[in-house]
Structure 1
Amino acid sequence: MDALRFTEDHEWLRLESHGTVTVSITTFAQQQLGDLVFVDLTAVVMSFVAGDEAAVVESVKTAGKIKMPIEGTIVRVNETLRDQPSAANEDPPGVGWLFRISLADPSSLDSLMTEGSYASFVS
């Protein structure tokens, strides 16, 4: 698998060495939203199917729902974002990630866009 996968809802996913997947919003989504001022994260150890609402982000421009990109269980949320939502804008792959999931089916990542196909999608 490539390092990152992307969804049409402008989320990126990164498979971690310990088998979980880290999820956050893409740079494109951040540019559309503007500076985040609030992040509402779901509870840990909740299972979702793809498309379920997993978080809400609010910015100076608008609010947006973050959908679960693939079926799985949220095993960790980024508590830093509750007090510092702007961290998602400042360092998305570092301290700005939203949540980590344990996949119901690891092969489901194969159906998501690669970095190149996402770049074409947003252009």
Structure 2
Amino acid sequence: MTTVLIAEDDEDIRDLVVFKLEQAGFTVIAAPDGTAALAAAQAQTPDLAVIDVSMPQLSGLDLCRLLRADPRTAGTLIIMLTARSQEGDVEAGFSAGADDYIVKPFSPRELTSRIRALMQRHGREEARRSEALG
């Protein structure tokens, strides 16, 4: 089963994303800030992380860089989910190592579709299915 880490300081958004992703069949780890998300990622190595840029303690951009720098989490796919929509913000997200960038407000259905697309594009979804079958 695909494990997704959600790093979002807004409790309502975090709860919505967790609910929708669990409904879609993902295992979800939720963190209220970047520091908690980093600890969770190091402990459980998620397949994919959905990260808000503006969080207390450790920004999403810094979290993204730290995940990429750690050999345990370097392969984790990363989607930035943020209200920051300026061209420079998007560029900063990709420069930090993000695989995709979604601007709030967002559609939970689109987020789920993008997660599935990234997993398929990187051959992870089929590998997980094979593990479950074999």
Structure with more of its chain in strand, by fraction: 1
Please indicate, yes or no, whether the TM-score normalized by the shorter chain is above 0.5. no
Higher relative contact order (CA 8 A, sep 6+): 1
TM-score after normalising by structure 2: 0.27
